[in-house]
Amino acid sequence: MKKLISIILGFILLQACHTEENYTIVPTVIPLQIPSNFPEIEYNLENNPLTEEGVALGKKLFYEGRLASDGIISCGFCHEQASAFTHHGHTISHGIDGNFGFRNAQPIQNLAFFSEFTWDGAAIHLDLQPIIPITSDFEMGETIPSVIQKLNSYPEYRILFENAFEDAEATTERLLKALSQFMVTMISGNAKYDKVIRREGNVNFTNLENKGFVIFKNKCASCHSGALFTDKSYRNNGIPFNKKFPEEEGRKRVSGFEDDFYKFRVPSLRNTEMTFPYMHDGRFGTLEDVLDFYTDGMSENGGKIDPLLTKQDGSLGIDLSQEDKIALIAFLKTLTDNTFLNDKRFAEF
Ligand code: HEC
Ligand code: HEC
């Protein structure tokens, strides 16, 4: 009888331990810190709550070369922190086997505030975006089923998936959700500009920066607007057609509308000092080149130019003097966020 009781007790205890074990892996939900001068986020956290374990898994996946067919090209290969997660030194990005795409890598920053991604808006959810690079022949050259199979075969990932989700199984949904969780936390909102706007401490613009800010508000902020420095629309800023990439049609690739030919999503200018080269194809190496283009470089051979871009004399472009340009660049540099560029939470090592 005693033996029976102890067996029953033992069994109950075992069950208790088992349940407790299940509870110990409930992931820790963490809040998202949104700068006070920023808008509401667009990413729906209810469908994918941020957790410490999910973000950690997302970070590991972001820097994981094994997501690519060659075992080398990770997301971080083209999205490097020191250049606000762009592909430093590359006009257009190359990936697997040195294959080249036809676009300049965009920064990974403040993506929680967007609902359409890439230069032409081809991805309409952050969770779906990574499928493009993983499966593209120019980027990681893999297939999603093969990535999932690989992840499930590594014991270290089984533990990480179990910590972040209900069990150890790597699935497409969990892979994408973990990557999104990491990218959602990548908020850049601590530049000198933000400190001035939020009236933090004793931070002020210099006279030159202030002059640049005024010019910016008058001549640039109609498109590069708000705290994100983009109105998120697709526009044709007069950039001449690049004959090297005849397949490039801008937004028209997605919408099919002739009117959208060579329109691109207005890029955010946060950390712009670090995200060179510039434009969808990385054709300009410096901010000086960009401003010379705005005053003198526009051409209608890349489709219909945005009506905002007409000078006082009726010709194409934006009126800016040499001094205006110097002041504008000084202002643009106040958007460099060294906290973000050096944040250990986003660093590979
Ligand atoms: C071979 C280089 C390369 C690799 C590898 C790469 N990307 Fe990119 N990424 C790009 C380029 C180029 C673009 C611009 C694409 C376009 O407009 O068509 C981009 C755009 C993006 C965007 C859109 C940003 C925005 O503002 O809309 C996100 C998000 C992104 N990449 C995430 C990732 C993730 C996550 C991975 C890994 C799974 C990854 N990338 C791997 C080059 C790369
Ligand atoms: C009519 C809307 C519009 C106006 C006005 C405008 N821009 Fe742009 N800007 C764009 C678009 C669209 C692009 C992307 C074009 C492309 O990639 O081909 C862009 C690209 C840029 C880039 C390159 C960013 C990158 O990451 O590649 C910089 C820098 C820039 N603009 C600065 C300015 C400044 C400074 C002004 C004011 C003097 C200004 N823009 C006025 C629409 C505009």
The 10s digit of each residue's pLDDT in 247-283 is 999 999 999 999 999 999 999 999 999 999 999 999 9
104 touches 284 (CB < 8 A): no
Q: Tell me, using a 6 A CB cutoff, whether residue 336 lines ligand 1.
A: no
Boundary-marking domain end, from 161, 188, 215: 188
pLDDT, one tens digit per residue, over 31-74 is 999 999 999 999 999 999 999 999 999 999 999 999 999 999 99
The range of the structural domain enclosing residue 242 comes to: 192-339
Query: What DSSP designation does 234 have?
Result: E
Task: Clarify whether residues 128 and 231 are in a common domain.
Answer: no
pLDDT-derived band of residue 85, with 50, 70 and 90 as boundaries? very high
Could you count the other beta carbons within 10 Å of the beta carbon of residue 305?
Answer: 19
The residue whose CA is least distant from atom 36 of ligand 2 is 220
Average pLDDT in the 78-93 region? 93
DSSP E strand boundaries for the chain: 234-235, 264-265
- Cis (ω within 30 of 0) for the bond into 35? no
Give the predicted TM-score (pTM) of the model. Answer: 0.93
pLDDT-derived band of residue 92, with 50, 70 and 90 as boundaries? confident
Q: Tell me, using a 6 A CB cutoff, whether residue 275 lines ligand 1.
A: no
CATH of the domain at 126: 1.10.760.10
Task: Clarify whether residues 97 and 182 are in a common domain.
Answer: yes
Boundary-marking domain end, from 188, 217, 250: 188
Q: Is residue 11 pLDDT above 50, yes or no? A: no
Asked if the structure places residue 45 within a domain, the reply is: no
Query: What DSSP designation does 266 have?
Result: P
Boundary-marking domain end, from 168, 188, 208: 188
Token look-up 């030194």 returns 89
Task: Clarify whether residues 183 and 198 are in a common domain.
Answer: no
Which one of the ligands is nearest to 43 CA?
Answer: 1
Number of domains observed in the structure of the chain: 2
Asked if the structure places residue 163 within a domain, the reply is: yes
Q: Tell me, using a 6 A CB cutoff, whether residue 139 lines ligand 1.
A: yes
Asked if the structure places residue 99 within a domain, the reply is: yes
Q: Tell me, using a 6 A CB cutoff, whether residue 329 lines ligand 2.
A: no
